[in-house]
Amino acid sequence: MTMTMPLRLRKFMLTAHVISSVGWLGAAAAYLVLAVDVLADQDAQAVRAAILVMELIAWFVIVPFAFASLLTGIVQSVGTTWGLFRHYWVLFKLLLNIFAVFVLLEYTTSLSQLAGVAAKTTLSSADLNQLKDPGHIVHSGGGLLALLVATVLAVYKPRGVTRYGQRKQHEQRRRQRGEFTKADRQDLEEAVPVPDPSTQPGGMSAPGLVVVGASHRPASS
């Protein structure tokens, strides 16, 4: 189902979508720099500080942007003729975003435990090793890559249309030519109660009447 948003609203929502999505990408890039520092830096105080900053950025910038990107992306899809399931690039971005949000939430929860360790007054070497988890780089690097792919898809909008999208395009073209579509027939059948033909002795069933009516509908010029 799609409904077309008025132009002003569409522009407003697109602005919100680009800010949240590309903001998420920028925050992920800054996060990656801190993650590399955590693994490379030998100074325990620097590692501790980086983990505490990473936790703040994750909860207060990255997670809100990720949800905002998902939400505004869905609005932008159903509120325009792009639709949510019609074009492969939109569908792929949707799946990518949902997957990224799941991984992000799981990772950020474990990061909060590490921040608890980093906040201790004294750090043992075991604590320090725990903070220097390579997962920081894997998660932020992987996330950044996914967001770069999503941005390229969004800008280039490759042409591939899903089967559902093809059906919808076909229906739309037929409607524009003034022809009667399967969807119209379904709408009518839902509106008119349909008796079971086997219980109609010799009579024509309601769907039959509907179809006859449909086939005699004049095509508009």
What is the Cα–Cα distance from 144 to 24, expressed in whole angstroms?
9
| Minimum CB distance to ligand HEM, residue 21 (Å) | 3
Six-digit token string for 154? 């969004």
DSSP class of residue 87 equals B
- Judge residue 87's burial from the number of C-beta atoms within 10 Å of its C-beta, 0-12 exposed, 13-18 middle, 19 or more buried: buried
Please give the DSSP secondary-structure letter assigned to residue 194: -
Cα angle vertex 143, ends 142, 145, to 5°? 65
69 binds ligand HEM (CB under 6 A): yes
Alpha-carbon distance of 49 to 43, in angstroms, equals: 10
CB nearer to ligand HEM: give 90 or 131. Answer: 90
* Contact string 200-219 vs ligand HEM (x = CB under 6 A): --------------------
Residue with tokens 């069933």: 205
Residues numbered 127-166 forming contacts with ligand HEM, rule: CB under 6 A: 147, 150-151, 154-155
For the CB of residue 100, give the shortest distance to ligand HEM in the complex, in Å: 6
For 219, phi then psi, to 5°, come to -80, 135
Residue nearer to ligand HEM on the CB measure, 14 or 188: 14
Q: Is residue 16 a contact residue for ligand HEM (CB under 6 A)?
A: no
| Contact characters 70-99, ligand HEM, x per CB under 6 A | x--xx-xx--x-x-x-----x--xx-xx--
> Which residues in this chain contact ligand HEM in the complex, by CB under 6 A?
10, 14, 17-18, 21-22, 25, 69-70, 73-74, 76-77, 80, 82, 84, 90, 93-94, 96-97, 147, 150-151, 154-155
